[in-house]
Structure 1
Amino acid sequence: MSDLYGRHKAVLPDWLALYYADPIEITHGEGRYVWDAAGKRYLDFFGGILTTMTAHALPEITKAVSEQAGRIIHSSTLYLNRPMVELAERVAELSGIPDARVFFTTSGTEANDTALLLATSYRRSNQILAMRNSYHGRSFSTVGITGNKGWSPTSLSPLQTLYVHGGVRTRGPYADLSDDDFIAACVADLEDLLGHVRPPAALIAEPIQGVGGFTSPPDGLYAAFRQVLQERGILWIADEVQTGWGRTGEHFWGWQAHAENGPPDIITFAKGIGNGMSIGGVVARAEIMNCLDSNSISTFGGTQITMAAGLANLTYLLEHDLQGNARRVGGLLIERLRAVAAQLPGVREVRGRGLMIGVELVKPGTDTADPETAAAVLEAAREEGLLLGKGGGHNTSALRIAPPLSLTVAEAEEGAAILERALRSCVQ
């Protein structure tokens, strides 16, 4: 055990998860690669949990942060803040929400917490619809709407949460249906549920479930849900903490795969927009955002140095068409991994969009999750210089692949080759 690991265990909580039997300290990075304290290089296929969205040590962002730090780092939201206004203007325009207002936080958890405050205040209801297998953060309110027991340390909550079918296409009671019939069954279930309860405040849903193992419904499910919700005045909150900013390749936002009935009422975001800096936020129609009848602030939300990073990062993302790169390179990577999976009975499914790819492992010949093998693949890939994530609602048996969106074809092939060897050595 390294000295740093021993010190970690001595002062930090036991529930603060670490990857690997022998945890590594990442000391620096460049592009799509990082190095540990021993000098070993890794191809980063997880980006600090989908947070390093463009690249490590990107000069444009480093320069913007350095220049802003030389002027002022922080003043709070009690004063006018030019970088915050400029980033809010761009996010509002990109959101697709008419007459949008933007509130910045420091994390996705805080963003979702704020969205819940807005929705429940606006609707005067503490009932929330959430998806099974979902994850929305680690605060008291967001744990209360998380539908993944592995990330729910308590059932206590200030909210009454009702869980809806549909976030996982290939498991559950409707898995064997066609896409159209799957959507129809989920909508019928939602309508039946709403017939038994007072109208909830909102439905919160990840377009692709992140911690849940990169699962998603057929395109159009949330559009169909939206029609049911709109008839009853129920809001739709799209949790875009992991799916936003072009990661899925086909769309800038995950909700756009379900856009038939217009944009969500509220969008939450975080992670990738800061490229490692602590930025989260909420976008909502003005009437919803302005419904609170008391004062509030965000001491560290929207601070100048994080806004400077966000502006530089968003500019780079758009000017270099990283959404298009995610679509092209991600498509090649998914097909490469599916070809490998077809030869391994222990790989149940390769799924995802763009550079958001899940590889679900099971005990061969069954649908039983195999978290031990998933952990073994994670270790084997790390030994060969590849960092992956893991997740899933079935005992973290899905490998999660989410590299920076600037990933090259050569790097995708490098990572796929390492992962193939790791899968073949661990999966039956």
Structure 2
Amino acid sequence: MSRDPAVPAGPGGAAGLHARHRAVLPGWLTLYYERPIELTHGEGRHVWDADGNRYLDFFGGILTTMTAHALPEVAKAVAEQAGRILHSSTLYLNRTMVELAERIAELSGIPDARVFFTTSGTEANDAALLLATTYRRSNQVLAMRNSYHGRSFATVAVTGNRGWSPTSLSPLQTLYVHGGVRARGPYAHLSDAAFIDACVADLHDVLGQAHGTVAALIAEPVQGVGGFTSPPDGLFAAFREVLDRHGILWISDEVQTGWGRTGDHFWGWQAHAAGGPPDVLTFAKGIGNGMSVGGVVARAEVMNCLAVNSISTFGGSPVTMAAALANLTHLLDHDLQGNARRVGGPLIERLRAACAGLPAVREVRGRGLMVGIELAEPGTGRPSPETAAAVLEEARARGLLVGKGGGHDSSVLRVAPPLSLTAAEAEEGADILAAALRAATAPRAAPAPGESPPAAPAPGESPPDAPAPGRSAP
């Protein structure tokens, strides 16, 4: 396959860039694929690599390209703002930041809300923990097993996922409770109602182990890095009844579930709405559509509990605020939440049908455009990160990018395309993923004596039975 001449390759190509990457960047900085790819540009739901190969993007830069690649409204807002002023800090009034905060405060559902902007989800969750522990005068925090909340010292301390928690040192005393994973663990065999009752009983038991005041429960309505797992609807409403009796705050980590991605709701917490909105809500990723935007929404009394001066140098940047406001306006005006529901439902059913006869697929789960495919060893049921890695490679060779996650073993494929995904693109991606799953999980015949196994496809080269990725530049 010839390289698209419209996309010039960098010196040394992807292999050379990979060698330079390894020479100067941390060894723990994860890269996908045996031969990592460099993405150079995108449009809509597609991206192109440095070799000119086109891919249907079903991961969106880890759920961050929320509306579309190269969305004209966002590009225009960024260019116009950059032409006026790039930076000012929060020491000066910023009209766009105020306008965006007003819209987010209203959308949050939190009464008398205040909004603080950060540059990432990690920083947003870190700030939420600072607020909660200060407000409650306690460093004890409840978190969910299998959770992920970021890579800072404080957020690692509330991450219940061994694969993403590099240290046991912590500024917090964290108590982990059941409920984030429905299909595994000691309560998996129970009905939804009994599952919730058992998790509430576990919460009571955990609180009995606490030393006095507990500051907050931090929880993802759908666990992202954990493999798109979620409890039955209503669990956090039941938790909220217990938390309220103790004065414990509820922090809803909406970094991956916010902005309508689940289709049924604008925020993940709304699946548990009987308990009302959370005390604190964190967001990031999709709101900036690739720009570095995160933030915290909280009741005024919680947000204003810090009795010191504070600023943010880069949070609320004029450029990122302009991008986020344009992106949010586009999302609302085009009802992308409704599109996630309309397109996501058939996508999930199509994937379930395609996976029904595959012994390596343990479960297809999700809602809206947030779908997880859990892979396991046939016969044993043990998680199979090797299979997930193989499917990732097969899908890339066929022109589709997906992610992976799932506990500490990364045995779950994560499907999360931009919310503007069309029905035709959903069908195309599901068919490619089904073919990749079949190819990666098919029994492989042992090579004959003296015969070498077939070589892996070279970068940009598809396996013999795969349709070639598109080649035209946007």
Bucket of the pairwise TM-score, normalised by the shorter protein? over 0.9
2:37 is aligned with 1:51: no
2:134 is aligned with 1:121: yes
Match of 1:140 in 2: 153
Bigger CA radius of gyration: 2
Match of 1:310 in 2: 324
Q: CA deviation at 1:366?
A: 2.7
Distance 1:73 1:251 in 2: 34
* Partners of 1:168 and 1:215 within 8 A in 2: yes
Q: CA deviation at 1:199?
A: 2.8
4+ long deviations beyond 6 Å: none
Amino acid at match of 1:306: T
Distance 1:70 1:220 in 2: 48
Q: CA deviation at 1:340?
A: 1.2
2:414 is aligned with 1:400: yes
Match of 2:82 in 1: 69
Which 10-residue stretch deviates more, 242-251 or 392-401?
Answer: 392-401
Distance 2:209 2:366 in 1: 34
Distance 2:205 2:432 in 1: 47
What's the RMSD between the two structures over aligned residues?
A: 0.7
Q: CA deviation at 1:42?
A: 0.3
Match of 1:271 in 2: 285
Q: Say which of 388, 391, 395 aligns to 2:405.
A: 391
Match of 2:238 in 1: 224
Distance 1:287 1:148 in 2: 32
Distance 2:189 2:441 in 1: 26
2:264 is aligned with 1:247: no
Which 10-residue stretch deviates more, 398-407 or 188-197?
Answer: 188-197
Distance 1:101 1:402 in 2: 29
Distance 1:367 1:199 in 2: 40
Percent sequence identity is 79
- Post-superposition Cα deviations, 1:197-249, rounded to whole Å, max 9, x if no partner, equal 12310000000000000000000000000000000000000000000000000
Match of 1:261 in 2: 275
- Post-superposition Cα deviations, 1:376-399, rounded to whole Å, max 9, x if no partner, equal 000000001100000001500000
Match of 1:153 in 2: 166
Q: Say which of 324, 332, 337 aligns to 2:346.
A: 332
* Partners of 2:162 and 2:408 within 8 A in 1: no
Match of 1:376 in 2: 390
Distance 1:139 1:120 in 2: 16
Match of 2:300 in 1: 286
- Post-superposition Cα deviations, 1:349-403, rounded to whole Å, max 9, x if no partner, equal 0001100000000001232000001000000000011000000015000000000
Match of 2:96 in 1: 83
Task: Report the secondary structure of 1:264's partner residue.
Answer: coil
| Structure 2: runs of 5+ lacking an equivalent | 1-13, 443-474
Q: Paired residues, what number?
A: 428
Distance 2:381 2:200 in 1: 26
Q: CA deviation at 1:261?
A: 1.4
* Partners of 2:136 and 2:213 within 8 A in 1: no
Q: CA deviation at 1:427?
A: 1.8
Match of 2:463 in 1: none
2:315 is aligned with 1:301: yes
2:226 is aligned with 1:212: yes
* Partners of 1:150 and 1:393 within 8 A in 2: yes
Amino acid at match of 1:9: R
Match of 1:105 in 2: 118
Distance 2:112 2:229 in 1: 32
Distance 1:144 1:10 in 2: 30
Amino acid at match of 1:194: L
Q: Under a length normalisation based on structure 1, what TM-score does the superposition of the two structures give?
A: 0.99
* Partners of 2:283 and 2:296 within 8 A in 1: yes
Match of 2:379 in 1: 365
Amino acid at match of 1:333: L
Amino acid at match of 1:27: T
- Post-superposition Cα deviations, 1:71-103, rounded to whole Å, max 9, x if no partner, equal 111100000000100000000000000000000
* Partners of 2:62 and 2:403 within 8 A in 1: yes
* Partners of 1:369 and 1:394 within 8 A in 2: no
* Partners of 1:123 and 1:201 within 8 A in 2: yes
Task: Report the secondary structure of 1:350's partner residue.
Answer: strand
Q: CA deviation at 1:192?
A: 1.5
Match of 2:199 in 1: 186
* Partners of 1:20 and 1:379 within 8 A in 2: yes
Distance 1:110 1:291 in 2: 18
Match of 2:106 in 1: 93
* Partners of 1:213 and 1:392 within 8 A in 2: yes
Distance 2:205 2:224 in 1: 27
Q: CA deviation at 1:14?
A: 0.3
Q: Under a length normalisation based on structure 2, what TM-score does the superposition of the two structures give?
A: 0.90
* Partners of 1:347 and 1:427 within 8 A in 2: no
Q: Say which of 235, 244, 268 aligns to 2:249.
A: 235
2:182 is aligned with 1:169: yes
| Structure 1: runs of 5+ lacking an equivalent | none
Amino acid at match of 2:417: P
2:355 is aligned with 1:355: no
Task: Report the secondary structure of 1:2's partner residue.
Answer: helix
Amino acid at match of 2:156: V
Task: Report the secondary structure of 1:260's partner residue.
Answer: helix
Amino acid at match of 2:56: L
Distance 1:152 1:192 in 2: 25
Distance 1:104 1:403 in 2: 25
Q: CA deviation at 1:68?
A: 0.6
Amino acid at match of 1:8: H
Amino acid at match of 2:275: N
Q: CA deviation at 1:195?
A: 2.0
* Partners of 1:128 and 1:162 within 8 A in 2: yes
Distance 1:68 1:191 in 2: 51
